[in-house]
Each structure stands twice: as structure tokens, then as C-alpha cells.
């Protein structure tokens, strides 16, 4: 197992009251200045994450606190998967990488610094990187993710470099809860432990959030859900960050396994189930919407949120690349994406109109195999994750995603993988795919999950609403009986780039 650098992370706030960007708010539901900031940001807009990509550069190795879910020898557990090797970059290497990726992936619109330590514990490297990128690729949005300890002292610099999006990881507002998550912080040249450490950290996080929102910088708050430690308490955290202007709240499941070597991993602290996570997200959803599409990505992730193309852009490869940064070509590509997005919204609204008189209170979950663009365009056997939509008389709503093992092993299906897929989507009534073979189809049906391939390569939400309409009609006619399904498992960790990494990380 190779060892890596330290941390990573992300968060934000705005102060504009209701903010649906983490769910599905569109242009008509947000103030124009907010829409401009979120429309191409895959983390701040659920809708954008089907079309636009982000990348991280790992320029910030040091951290100023210790979290019980993090092992400094590996990538950060907040935003990246523990146990996966990262390359540390200099600001100059990072800038070259950003330009190389942006030239290859025109839908890459956001550059985030999220570790592998804390960006603000490495301010010189972090801000030098932002400075270089804003000169070389001025159309790319800059994003920062921090634990918040050093945030108040860097607000002016964040504003100076036009960092529009800041994420703060806030897991508690009660220092007694915090002492169970953070054994120590390093502050004013001293190591401080216990409740006092958590008190200082919380005070800095909340003050930093207020200072950012006062400046109009969009803020997201990330929280790690740790059952039995802060799960109930996160409702209080939600209220505290909402009242301070946070734009979006992202409650993520704890990543914890003994092989990661973290305190929580070694003490057997479990993460939440899929339904525990959804129930907490639902209970917090109100004036401030919840982010449900986070992939807890690595500190060097590249690509759409549901993929990782970082292996294409290692330092060796990018240093050899001939890079031609064509701003006009990027704009043209993004204009086409915008047209596709509009077509998708129109199709959804059309289908939604057919549910206008529907009064049923039935809600079901459906899993979708997709490669992006808001389409059902992935084969069942090739899916590395399924997106989860909740269907009701109100329409379709994205509520999460589930990582799975690949079923198709090049010519044959892996039965063990199929079992993990079924456990991962066990709370769903249907799974929408572009194509599926006879064997998995039968096993899904036996498990009570309907495989649906009649909407191959069509828009996800329009198709899901159409299927749901038929489902309700069948229930009303007595052809089928509606029932509630069970819970599902969350598979730990973020997507990884290739098989080689699977071996390296040893998990
Ligand atoms: Fe990166 Fe974070 Fe910016 Fe996004 S990630 S710094 S806001 S550009 Fe996004 Fe990754 Fe989730 Fe973070 S999916 S872990 S929320
Ligand atoms: Fe690890 Fe926590 Fe530091 Fe992130 S903030 S690098 S999770 S110790």
C-alpha cells in the first residue's frame, strides 16, 4: 500500500434565503446573480452535475486539525477516499494541469483546492495556484474547501482572488460533540485538545461563514454523518449554518473501515445506511436545500462527479502535453451543453404536466444507469454507480447515488457483484437502464426490482415520470399492489480512476 499526503475538503454559503442549487433549482427559481454563479458548477447545482465537470489540484498537504475519520497518511476522508495515492503538485504544476485538463475536457468549469490537507493551512501554495490559474484560464471558477480553523484570517485574500465558492466542513456546533470528532487542533503555535479545541474550531467555522456570506461569497457546508456521535446533532448544525447564510448543506456518510487506519475505523464506528442518510437529509430540507449528489471525491479528482479521469492527467503526462487553451472553443462547447440542458428541462416539464391532477401520496425510488447528460445511456452491467430518484405526484427528485461493483466482467456476469448491486438499490422499485441481459433481469425481478429498458437513451426525469404515471395507474386498477421497500447499503468511498489504484489502495 502506498502512502499519501494529508487532507482535502469543500463548503459554501450565500445569504439569499431559499437556495435550491443542490437539488434541482433552475434559472427561473434563483436570483440572476446566484444563477450565474451556480449554473455551471457541478457541486452547487444538481442539474449542472450531469453536464459539467470539476477538477481538484493537490497543492495543500498540511493540516491544522485532526479528525477521527482521517488518517494523514492517506487522502482526506471528507472529500477523497482514504487509502488512495495522490500526487502532490507545486502551484506551477497545478496550473499546467488545469490548462491541460480544460483543453481536453471543455465541460470542466470549476477548479477546486480541497487538500489533501487543508488549503488554508497552506495559504501560500493555495493562493499562488489561484493566482496562476486566474491568469492562464480566466473562465474557470475557483472553489475552495476548508475545515474553517484558519478561515477568518483569510477572508480578504479569498475575496481578492475572486474565489466565488467556499465549502466549510462543519460537523458540530456543540464542543462536547466536537470533542468526540476532533482530538486536537493546532492554533497559534500550540496544540490544543478536547472541548477547548472543538470550541475554538466551531467559533472560527461559524465566524468565517458569516464573514464570507457578508461578502456575497457563496458558501456550502459539508457535514459528515457519524451515527451515534453527531447524527441527531446535525439538525442543529443545519439551523446554525442556515441562519448564517449558508447556501447549501451537504450531509455525507462517514467513510470508515479498519484498513484506513483512522480512529473511527479502528474503533468500529459505522457509517449510516442509505435510508438513515436520506431521512436526515429530508428532515433538514426546508428553506435551505440539501446537496444529495456529492461523490466525496478525491483531492486530485478530475471529470464529472460520477467519474474519475485523474489517471489521464498524471504529472508525467501533463508535462509532456502540448496545450492549446482555446477559450472560444470552450465557450462554443458549453453553449451546446446549455441547449441540451434546456431541452431536458422542457421534456421534464411536459411530462410533469400529465401528473398535474394526481393526488396519490405514493412515493417510490428508482435507480438509473447513466453516463451523464441527463440520459438513461448506460448498460446495467457497465454501471459503476446508479443515480437515485424519488418519484411522487410532485414529479421526480434526485435524492442520491449508489456506487456498485461492475456486474459485467467482459463476456460474463459476476454474480457476487450482482448481489452487491441489489443490496445497493434494494430500496428502489425500478432500475432504468439502456440495456440489460436476461440473467440479471430475472434476479432483479426476484428481488422485487423492475428492470426498465424501454426508455433507453431518453431523458431520465421525463422517462421516470412517465413510468411512475403508469405505475400509479396499475395500482389504481388493482393490477399491482403498492408496497414499501427495505433499506439499502451505501458502499464506502469515492470513485477511483483505474484498476491499478484499486490494487494500490489495498481495499
Ligand atoms: Fe471540489 Fe468541493 Fe469545490 Fe466541488 S468537490 S472543492 S465544491 S469543486 Fe463536490 Fe466533491 Fe462533494 Fe466536494 S462532489 S466532495 S461537494
Ligand atoms: Fe483530514 Fe480533517 Fe485535516 Fe481534512 S480537515 S485533512 S479530514 S484531519
What DSSP line would sit under 385-438, residue for residue?
Answer: EEEEEEEETTEEEEEEEEE---SB-SSSB-HHHHHHHHHHTTT-SEEE-SB--H
DSSP, collapsed to helix, strand or coil, labels residue 55 as: strand
What is the position in ligand 2's atom list of the atom closest to the CA of 70?
1
Which residues have C-beta within 8 Å of that of residue 329, sequence separation ≥ 6? 106
Are 229 and 181 within 8 A, CB to CB? yes
Q: What are 115's three cell numbers?
A: 487538500
Task: Tell the residue number behind the cell numbers 504529472, with chain if given.
Answer: 315
Q: Is 63 in the pocket of ligand 2 (CB under 6 A)?
A: yes
Per-residue pLDDT, 81: 45
What is the position in ligand 2's atom list of the atom closest to the CA of 121?
3
pTM: predicted TM-score of the whole model, two decimal places: 0.86
C-alpha to C-alpha distance for 83 and 151, rounded to whole angstroms: 27
Per-residue pLDDT, 277: 94
Q: Which of 21, 48, 52, 79 to mutate to test the pocket of ligand 1 (most atoms within 8 A of CB)?
A: 79
Spatial CA neighbour of 12 closest among 159, 145, 153, 123: 145
Are 130 and 163 within 8 A, CB to CB? yes
Dihedral class, residue 422 (left if φ above 0, else alpha if ψ from -120 to 50, else beta): alpha
Q: Is 254 in the pocket of ligand 2 (CB under 6 A)?
A: no
Spatial CA neighbour of 306 closest among 404, 221, 437, 219: 404
Q: Is 54 in the pocket of ligand 1 (CB under 6 A)?
A: yes
C-alpha to C-alpha distance for 262 and 363, rounded to whole angstroms: 38
Q: Which ligand is nearest to the CA of 301?
A: 1
C-alpha to C-alpha distance for 151 and 175, rounded to whole angstroms: 18
Q: Which ligand is nearest to the CA of 126?
A: 1
Distance 469 CA to ligand 2 centre (A): 46
Q: Is 143 in the pocket of ligand 1 (CB under 6 A)?
A: yes
Torsion of CA 437, 443, 448, 452, to 10 degrees: 0
Q: Is 251 in the pocket of ligand 1 (CB under 6 A)?
A: no
C-alpha to C-alpha distance for 116 and 67, rounded to whole angstroms: 13
Per-residue pLDDT, 230: 97
DSSP, collapsed to helix, strand or coil, labels residue 503 as: helix
For 354-401, how does the pLDDT look when each residue is reduced to its tens digit (9 = 90+)? 888 888 999 999 999 999 888 999 999 999 899 999 999 999 999 999
What is the position in ligand 2's atom list of the atom closest to the CA of 72?
1
Task: Tell the residue number behind the cell numbers 469543500, with chain if given.
Answer: 10
Per DSSP, 312 falls in state G
C-alpha to C-alpha distance for 277 and 287, rounded to whole angstroms: 19
Q: Is 70 in the pocket of ligand 2 (CB under 6 A)?
A: yes
Q: Is 64 in the pocket of ligand 1 (CB under 6 A)?
A: no
Per-residue pLDDT, 391: 95
Residues of the chain with pLDDT under 50: 1-23, 77-85, 494-507
Q: Which of 21, 49, 54 to mutate to test the pocket of ligand 1 (most atoms within 8 A of CB)?
A: 54
For 101-152, how does the pLDDT look when each residue is reduced to its tens digit (9 = 90+)? 998 888 899 999 988 899 999 999 999 999 999 999 999 999 999 999 999 9
Distance 116 CA to ligand 1 centre (A): 13
C-alpha to C-alpha distance for 206 and 353, rounded to whole angstroms: 42
For 404-418, how does the pLDDT look when each residue is reduced to its tens digit (9 = 90+)? 988 877 767 777 888
Amino acid at each position: 500500500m502506498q502512502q499519501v499526503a494529508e487532507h482535502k475538503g469543500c463548503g459554501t454559503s450565500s445569504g439569499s434565503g431559499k437556495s435550491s442549487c443542490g437539488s434541482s433549482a433552475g434559472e427561473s427559481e434563483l436570483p440572476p446573480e446566484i444563477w450565474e454563479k451556480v449554473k455551471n458548477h457541478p457541486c452547487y447545482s444538481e442539474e449542472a452535475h450531469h453536464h459539467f465537470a470539476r477538477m481538484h489540484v493537490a497543492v495543500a498537504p498540511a493540516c491544522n486539525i485532526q479528525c477521527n475519520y482521517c488518517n494523514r497518511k492517506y487522502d482526506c476522508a471528507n472529500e477523497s477516499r482514504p487509502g488512495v495515492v495522490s500526487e502532490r503538485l507545486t502551484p506551477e504544476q497545478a496550473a499546467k494541469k488545469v490548462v491541460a485538463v480544460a483543453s481536453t475536457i471543455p465541460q470542466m468549469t470549476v477548479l477546486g483546492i480541497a487538500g489533501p490537507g487543508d488549503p488554508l493551512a497552506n495559504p501560500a501554495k493555495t493562493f499562488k495556484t489561484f493566482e496562476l490559474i486566474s491568469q492562464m484560464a480566466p473562465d474557470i471558477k475557483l472553489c475552495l474547501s476548508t475545515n474553517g480553523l484558519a478561515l477568518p484570517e483569510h477572508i480578504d485574500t479569498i475575496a481578492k482572488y475572486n474565489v466565488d465558492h467556499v465549502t466549510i466542513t462543519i460537523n458540530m456546533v456543540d464542543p462536547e460533540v466536537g470533542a468526540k470528532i476532533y482530538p486536537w487542533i493546532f492554533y497559534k503555535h500550540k496544540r490544543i485538545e478536547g472541548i477547548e479545541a472543538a470550541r475554538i474550531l466551531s467559533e472560527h467555522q461559524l465566524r468565517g461563514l458569516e464573514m464570507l456570506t457578508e461578502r456575497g461569497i457563496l458558501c456550502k457546508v459539508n457535514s459528515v454523518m457519524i451515527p451515534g456521535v453527531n447524527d441527531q446533532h446535525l439538525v442543529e448544525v443545519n439551523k446554525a449554518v442556515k441562519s448564517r447564510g449558508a447556501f447549501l448543506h451537504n450531509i455525507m456518510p462517514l467513510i470508515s473501515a479498519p484498513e484506513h487506519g483512522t480512529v473511527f475505523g479502528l474503533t468500529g464506528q459505522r457509517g449510516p445506511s442509505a435510508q438513515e442518510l436520506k431521512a436526515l437529509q429530508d428532515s433538514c430540507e426546508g428553506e435551505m436545500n440539501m446537496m444529495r449528489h456529492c461523490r466525496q471525491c478525491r483531492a486530485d479528482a478530475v471529470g464529472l462527479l460520477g467519474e474519475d479521469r485523474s489517471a489521464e492527467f498524471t504529472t508525467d503526462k501533463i508535462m509532456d502535453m502540448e496545450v492549446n487553451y482555446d477559450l472560444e472553443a470552450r465557450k462554443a462547447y458549453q453553449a451546446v451543453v446549455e441547449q441540451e440542458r434546456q431541452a431536458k428541462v422542457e421534456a421534464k416539464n411536459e411530462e410533469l404536466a400529465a401528473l398535474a391532477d394526481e393526488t396519490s401520496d405514493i412515493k417510490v425510488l428508482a435507480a438509473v444507469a447513466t453516463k451523464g447528460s441527463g440520459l438513461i445511456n448506460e448498460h446495467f452491467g457497465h454501471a459503476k454507480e446508479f443515480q437515485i430518484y424519488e418519484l411522487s405526484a410532485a414529479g421526480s427528485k434526485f435524492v442520491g447515488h449508489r456506487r456498485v461493483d461492475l456486474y459485467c466482467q467482459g463476456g460474463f456476469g459476476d454474480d457476487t457483484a450482482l448481489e452487491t448491486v441489489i443490496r445497493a438499490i434494494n430500496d428502489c422499485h425500478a432500475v432504468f437502464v439502456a440495456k440489460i441481459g436476461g440473467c440479471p433481469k430475472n434476479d432483479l425481478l426476484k428481488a422485487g426490482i423492475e428492470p426498465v429498458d424501454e426508455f433507453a437513451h431518453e431523458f431520465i426525469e421525463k422517462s421516470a415520470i412517465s413510468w411512475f404515471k403508469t405505475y400509479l395507474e396499475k395500482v389504481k386498477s388493482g393490477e399491482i399492489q403498492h408496497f414499501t421497500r427495505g433499506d439499502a447499503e451505501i458502499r464506502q468511498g469515492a470513485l477511483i480512476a483505474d484498476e491499478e489504484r484499486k490494487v494500490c489502495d489495498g481495499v
